[in-house]
Amino acid sequence: MPQSSPNNNKAEIESKRTFAIISHPDAGKTTLTEKLLLFGGAIQLAGAVKAKRAGRHATSDWMDIEKQRGISVTSSVMKFIYQNYDITLLDTPGHEDFSEDTYRVLTAVDSALMVIDSAKGVETQTRKLFEICRLRDTPIITFVNKLDREGISPLDLLHKIEDDLALECCPMTWPIGMGKEFKGVYHLLDNTLHLFSATHKGKIQEGVLIRGLDDPLLDEHLGSEADAFREEVELLQEASTPFELEKYLEGTQTPVFFGSAVNNFGVKELLDTFTKVAPNPKPRQTTTRTVDPHEKKLTGFVFKIQANMDPAHRDRMAFLRICSGKYTRGMKLTHLRINKEIQTRNAMTFLAQERKLADVAYPGDIIGMPNHGTIKVGDTFTEGENIKFTGIPNFAPEHFRRIHLLNPIKSKSLRTGLKQLAEEGILQLFQRLNTSDFIIGVVGVLQFDVVVARLEAEYSVEGRVEGTSYNKARYVECNDPKKLELFKARNENSLALDAEGHLTFLAPNDWHIDRLAKDWPDIRFLSSIEHS
């Protein structure tokens, strides 16, 4: 039964901003994250990327392997308050090999921040992530980073973004100079210029504030370049695309900010606008009805499972995005897939550097539920109503291997390890119909390294990956049970069940699948499916 009675959480819901940063590796996501956390008072000192090299690590990095490689393997949740806005940043792994996890994180946010390196424009990983955002019409704010280096001219860059992504760009700030001459950014709507000094000893410094183009401080700081800059700004204010909130919220226009994350230029301007315009939690679809965040009863879905968040606790955390209602500590929730009621005494909330027990949480918030393998990505939780949130996809993997055990005695541990890693969404596990052997599939090939490292560290299983003849997988669906049985009988050697019991066809190449689709027109071969 729909539960439409409103709750009293209006103010809390309106203050929520739940977002993710999408970018290509090295564009400056970690650096920008740290600056945002500094503004939010969530950390006191920027660890900065330099410190990453020196052995200290960005707050969002947890696992050894990502420290070794200097990339983010796991996604994390960071919460901070800025000017009465309650902001949750979901970290997305930036490396292209980890896109599956990233896609799912993007299902849990209400908006995204796109970071672009000013010298490089829109890069491959950014484009991929942008496409996922577009599928969901996610509103996007853009930050063009590294203006302190020579890059593409700001106007050319805006055109490039517009052409590359078919997304209208609306400059909100404008850089003063570039490279060695870069001095800061002018806010085109507020007519203000913040001249920050670089983060001094890792802390944010309030800089000089210049109000309007007529402010004599502009001449004092820009010298002979002040007049040329005035002209440029006036031209831009007349000629550039005006910001339209509606278009931004529909995902067809992006407000663009310029800056240098490492120098803290342009970050405050970005954050101030982000908090004002970015959407708070919106209604979400289930298979049967739309859930409004203002409904009284709690609903939510799990978008991520993560192990090893704290080496001291060998637990696995299920991240639940709250979609409606209010969470209070200890409340009973129904885990719909297994139709079981659970009591949520130990759910966690995540601050930048620590996690603690969550007492209350509202729509837009993410809570972490410790679990021992019963919760899976895509699961819905409610106070009893039988609904299922849609839009959390399972992607067909693109790389397939077997694990060759170096010590055969460990086969049980291997099986346990692989099953648990599959529940986290690190890999997909396939059991061939006619054999007992497991094939592991991943979306990005680097994930095999993670699998081997984690099997050894957590399950004491030493293994080596071995190739298979499979390169493609398609989930198989058919409305006609007889045809499906016939298909299964004829193709037994290439069929497997994934961890959730979906019938999957494993093939050497696309050609094989195209051929099959022609031969079996009643059967659907799907490259992604909703979690069951």
| Size (the chain), residues | 532
Using rule CB under 6 A, residue 25 touches ligand G4P: yes
Asked whether 249 and 137 are in contact (CB, 8 A), the reply is: no
Strands 111-117 and 140-145: parallel
Stretch that binds ligand G4P, among 105-113, 146-154, 176-184, 241-249 (CB under 6 A): 146-154
Using rule CB under 6 A, residue 149 touches ligand G4P: yes
Asked whether 428 and 441 are in contact (CB, 8 A), the reply is: yes
**Of 193 and 523, which has the nearer Cβ to ligand G4P?**
193
Closest approach, Cβ 147 to ligand G4P, in A, equals 7
Strand partners, 495: 505
Choice from 9, 59, 145, 199 touching ligand G4P (CB under 6 A): 145
> What does the alpha-carbon distance between residue 111 and residue 249 come to, in Å, rounded to a whole number?
9
Tokens of 189: 């709507």
Using rule CB under 6 A, residue 50 touches ligand G4P: yes
Choice from 3, 23, 199, 382 touching ligand G4P (CB under 6 A): 23
Closest approach, Cβ 265 to ligand G4P, in A, equals 8
Asked whether 513 and 524 are in contact (CB, 8 A), the reply is: no
Stretch that binds ligand G4P, among 140-148, 163-171, 176-184, 307-315 (CB under 6 A): 140-148
**Of 29 and 401, which has the nearer Cβ to ligand G4P?**
29
> What does the alpha-carbon distance between residue 323 and residue 9 come to, in Å, rounded to a whole number?
12
**Of 27 and 37, which has the nearer Cβ to ligand G4P?**
27
**Of 174 and 400, which has the nearer Cβ to ligand G4P?**
174
Q: What track of x and - describes contact with ligand G4P for positions 53 through 72 (by CB under 6 A)?
A: x-------------------
Residue spans of beta strands (DSSP E) within 44-138: 77-82, 85-90, 111-117
> What does the alpha-carbon distance between residue 182 and residue 69 come to, in Å, rounded to a whole number?
31
Residues 258-317 that bind ligand G4P (CB under 6 A): 260-263
Q: Dump the DSSP string for 287-320.
A: SS-EEPTTBSS-EEEEEEEEE-SBTTB--EEEEE
Closest approach, Cβ 445 to ligand G4P, in A, equals 19
**Of 28 and 40, which has the nearer Cβ to ligand G4P?**
28
Residue spans of beta strands (DSSP E) within 108-165: 111-117, 140-145
**Of 30 and 447, which has the nearer Cβ to ligand G4P?**
30
Choice from 3, 9, 31, 324 touching ligand G4P (CB under 6 A): 31
> What does the alpha-carbon distance between residue 481 and residue 488 come to, in Å, rounded to a whole number?
10
Choice from 146, 304, 321, 472 touching ligand G4P (CB under 6 A): 146
> What does the alpha-carbon distance between residue 22 and residue 5 come to, in Å, rounded to a whole number?
36
Closest approach, Cβ 134 to ligand G4P, in A, equals 21
**Of 149 and 296, which has the nearer Cβ to ligand G4P?**
149
Closest approach, Cβ 195 to ligand G4P, in A, equals 16
Stretch that binds ligand G4P, among 141-149, 240-248, 346-354, 417-425 (CB under 6 A): 141-149
Closest approach, Cβ 22 to ligand G4P, in A, equals 10
Q: What track of x and - describes contact with ligand G4P for positions 87 through 106 (by CB under 6 A)?
A: -------x------------
Asked whether 96 and 124 are in contact (CB, 8 A), the reply is: yes
Q: What does DSSP assign to residue 93? A: -
Asked whether 391 and 107 are in contact (CB, 8 A), the reply is: yes
Stretch that binds ligand G4P, among 45-53, 150-158, 237-245, 316-324 (CB under 6 A): 45-53
Residues 6+ apart with CB under 8 A from 232: 174
Q: Where are the alpha helices (H) located in 209-312, listed in sequence order? A: 216-222, 226-239, 245-250, 267-277
**Of 154 and 463, which has the nearer Cβ to ligand G4P?**
154
Q: What does DSSP assign to residue 240? A: S
Tokens of 299: 């609903």
The angle formed by the CA atoms of residues 490, 492 and 497, to the nearest 5 degrees, is 135
Closest approach, Cβ 364 to ligand G4P, in A, equals 24
The gap from C-alpha 432 to its chain's centroid, in whole angstroms, comes to 32
Stretch that binds ligand G4P, among 1-9, 46-54, 343-351, 464-472 (CB under 6 A): 46-54
Closest approach, Cβ 48 to ligand G4P, in A, equals 7
Residues that bind ligand G4P (CB under 6 A): 23, 25-31, 49-50, 53, 94, 145-146, 148-149, 260-263
